[in-house]
Structure 1
């Protein structure tokens, strides 16, 4: 995700378009949708779809009717209908793909939610819009101070001004219900604008603010993920991950959404394994499962009372023993099925980059002073021998 102005400079440093998500090429924006129908022409006689997708600050997107039949393309700044006044946003999608997106998000074309596009934004509209956005950071700090002064248990995470600068939406998170009526009065008096408070969840907050995850990439919720499915600790158990909240939680404080990505694959793979609480009955005794390796398809069992001795067998062999137990056929021991643990722990390193030996500091170096003393003694001895001769 990066436009030409966001590419790397001559010195290797990133340039940065400095548009804060309003790049005209729409390649460095949040929740960008690739228009794979852009190169296709409509059949003869069919009119293009009259709705467009418009993106506002961060990940907020809405759909609007192009009732004026304006020639709009991705990256155009438009003035849209709002209540009251008008808002300013950027067109992120046009054409038939908008119809598919609206159907996916269950937005009807003739509903009241779909408002109108007034016009392409003039320079005056853009100047007012930019001036309003420049005020957001300062107002966010002052609004947090007002909330702390009133003792409200809430966190104001983001502020979004309307395009005409007459209204501001304050996004906040709170664990309990907050009575912010006095806060609204104080903010309206201090900022001289219409105030709208909107509570969001912690995942929605992370999606709006963005960031870098533990994988080193941008957060999925701020780049492409739109539906937040519930994530449970069972997803971590299926994938045999340690239940460490610090590692499993994302920046929102909830379990990471990526725990669900490979969950179906793990569940399909585990169908070939017996349940971990199933015991294997042998003539030597009962065996209990200690560990499972899904990738290699093997399991480790230990006899009751001999917990330190593990026996490695495949999942197929474990199922065979279970079937024999159900048929009440005797099984001598797990040693008949156990695999030999052949693990090559020896690792050979090669000096392929011309590095010095790692043992070059093992032998202590002789100091120069000792060398000088030895040279003096040697010279003195040579002189004595010469005099005797």
Structure 2
């Protein structure tokens, strides 16, 4: 996810603009928070917040306490505490914004399981970390083949080595519970390291791997979306979208998260419309709603038995008819209301800029040249030459 000018060099430091992740665009990392307080000093007597945010592979973040009082800035590579050994990550946020992020994610500062930062990573730590990262891709190919050989209904999507190369975490997705005890034995024998299996959801898998959506932009889950709310087919029905799984499903195979973005607006707009299952009773017959245009405020109704003939009325007219029906009154027909909405759709274009007509090439070409050619041929014929000689 790093841009070409700010990608990480061999020493672990960003190269290019040298802003260490504090540039205005902040496009080097995914799911990052722009530190708009980085250039502001604290009031006198205020101590800087001791916690820092550290990012690992594919946007995984944790919060650590700076007990050693290290001078840290965004972009520094640090060695952090792990369950066993240490891990290597990059500092992505410091200062008061870390306090806000921890409060938003409901992480207590007085928790019993406080993780600490040991030190700034040395060159030896970075070399071990880089060598471990290079092993991950070939390991993933072998691991998938082992799972296929054991006929396990699971998909290994990603592998992440711990910074000291003492442990490898295998992220996988599965529809049902999987017994991978035999698989772990094969992994430990083949890769000669401690193995941890971690199941993730399909949306979390897409957020880790990233990609380009059907809209042409990067996936929301891998750039800014952090909370994955459930998306139901009713969201598509309220927005009057065709229930086509190929168009509504994202790269994770589930319904797109963006179906929830405008759902509240549609629900507020639908409140002004009569319910779609309400029938309109007229002297001509009973009319049933066929279609609703939320943006223009129109509704289309068709009589029972005449489903091919739709009549367009406004939502105010539909409400008026419903109120009359509640009073046990009927209108004569829907055509009376629909006739007032008939408008002339013919559009007349005018030449307002003095250009030539667009249909100038449609007119047949004149036969003037053909006539001139015929006259020349007649003059050149031998009969005409004899007449001219006499």
TM range (shorter): 0.7 to 0.9
| 1:368-379 alignment runs, 5 A limit | none
Q: Secondary structure at 1:145's aligned position in 2?
A: helix
> Do the aligned residues in 2 keep the contact of 1:22 with 1:29 (CA within 8 Å)?
no
Higher mean displacement: 304-313 or 79-88: 304-313
Q: Secondary structure at 2:324's aligned position in 1?
A: helix
Partner of 1:143: 143
Give the Å deviation of 1:111.
Answer: 1.8
Partner of 2:229: 229
Question: What do the CA deviations read for 1:4-43 (whole angstroms, capped 9, x no partner)?
Answer: 716xxxxxxxxxx477999542532111112233344333
69 and 218 in structure 1: CA distance in 2 versus 1, 3 angstrom threshold: same
Partner of 1:382: 380
380 and 164 in structure 1: CA distance in 2 versus 1, 3 angstrom threshold: farther
Partner of 1:10: none
Give yes or no for the alignment of 1:328 onto 2:328.
Answer: yes
Alignment size in residue pairs: 370
Partner of 2:84: 84
123 and 359 in structure 1: CA distance in 2 versus 1, 3 angstrom threshold: farther
Question: What do the CA deviations read for 1:139-161 (whole angstroms, capped 9, x no partner)?
Answer: 11111122222222211110101
Counterpart-to-counterpart distance in 1, 2:189 and 2:359: 70
RMSD after superposition: 3.3
347 and 250 in structure 1: CA distance in 2 versus 1, 3 angstrom threshold: farther
Partner of 1:50: 50
Higher mean displacement: 181-190 or 235-244: 181-190
Give the Å deviation of 1:183.
Answer: 1.5
Question: What do the CA deviations read for 1:246-290 (whole angstroms, capped 9, x no partner)?
Answer: 000000000000000100000000000000110111222221111
Question: What do the CA deviations read for 1:82-118 (whole angstroms, capped 9, x no partner)?
Answer: 1211111011111111111111111111224430011
| 1:215-226 alignment runs, 5 A limit | 215-226=215-226
What's the TM-score once normalised by structure 2's chain length? 0.85
Q: Secondary structure at 2:139's aligned position in 1?
A: helix
Counterpart-to-counterpart distance in 2, 1:243 and 1:162: 43
Q: Secondary structure at 2:237's aligned position in 1?
A: helix
61 and 313 in structure 1: CA distance in 2 versus 1, 3 angstrom threshold: same
Give the Å deviation of 1:301.
Answer: 1.3
Partner of 2:342: 341
Counterpart-to-counterpart distance in 2, 1:217 and 1:22: 28
Partner of 2:166: 166
Counterpart-to-counterpart distance in 1, 2:119 and 2:343: 73
Q: Which runs of 5+ in 1 are unaligned?
A: 7-16, 364-370
Question: What do the CA deviations read for 1:282-329 (whole angstroms, capped 9, x no partner)?
Answer: 222221111100000111112223323222111111111111211223
| 1:99-118 alignment runs, 5 A limit | 99-118=99-118
Partner of 1:73: 73
What's the TM-score once normalised by structure 1's chain length? 0.85
Higher mean displacement: 202-211 or 188-197: 188-197
Counterpart-to-counterpart distance in 2, 1:341 and 1:75: 65
Partner of 2:367: none
Partner of 1:259: 259
> Do the aligned residues in 1 keep the contact of 2:13 with 2:76 (CA within 8 Å)?
no
> Do the aligned residues in 2 keep the contact of 1:300 with 1:312 (CA within 8 Å)?
yes
